[in-house]
Amino acid sequence: MLNISAARRANKQNLELNMAPLIDMVFILLIFFLVTTSFIKETGVDISRPAATTAVSKAKAFILIGVTRDNTIHLDRREIDIRAVRANVERALAENPEGSVVIVADKESLTGKVITVMDACKLAGAQNVSIAASLPKGE
């Protein structure tokens, strides 16, 4: 007669799930998604950019500063004072000296506020400061 409990014990001892290939595959997928994902930096506020026919696409913008229609200044999804722009840009440029600054100003913001932000960026040592614009709808 066949002993069923002994057969079950023998099967339990031989059953083993090797997790190493599964973990390797998970890490390969993780690396794949990290390499192929593009991270988009934003100012954190909705801004209606002015249109310009000469607008060109900029490949990489390290520091984005937003100026809203209410003339508030935003950097890294938080509102900052005009006096703090220079210190924040200096800190960001210390991390990446090659970084460029893009001012994303609303078309209804005051020109004086945008010029003040641009001046603070230049005083912080930014070599490449530009203002964001969008292409006209027809182009």
Asked whether the beta carbons of 113 and 70 are under 8 A apart, the reply is no
The structure tokens listed for 38 are: 């593009």
The predicted pLDDT at position 127 comes to: 87
23-77 tens-digit pLDDT = 999 999 999 888 887 665 666 666 666 767 666 666 666 788 999 989 899 988 8
Of residues 17 and 114, more confidence is placed in 114
Domain 41-139 has CATH 3.30.70.380: no
The predicted pLDDT at position 26 comes to: 93
72-118 tens-digit pLDDT = 999 888 899 999 999 999 998 888 888 888 898 888 889 899 999 99
Q: Which of 56, 47, 41, 69 is nearest to 135 (CA)?
A: 56
Separation between Cα atoms, residue 102 and residue 100, nearest integer Å: 7
Q: Which residue has the tokens 């690396």?
A: 31
Residue ranges per domain, the chain? 4-36, 41-139
Average pLDDT, the chain: 81
Asked whether the beta carbons of 67 and 113 are under 8 A apart, the reply is yes
The predicted pLDDT at position 21 comes to: 87
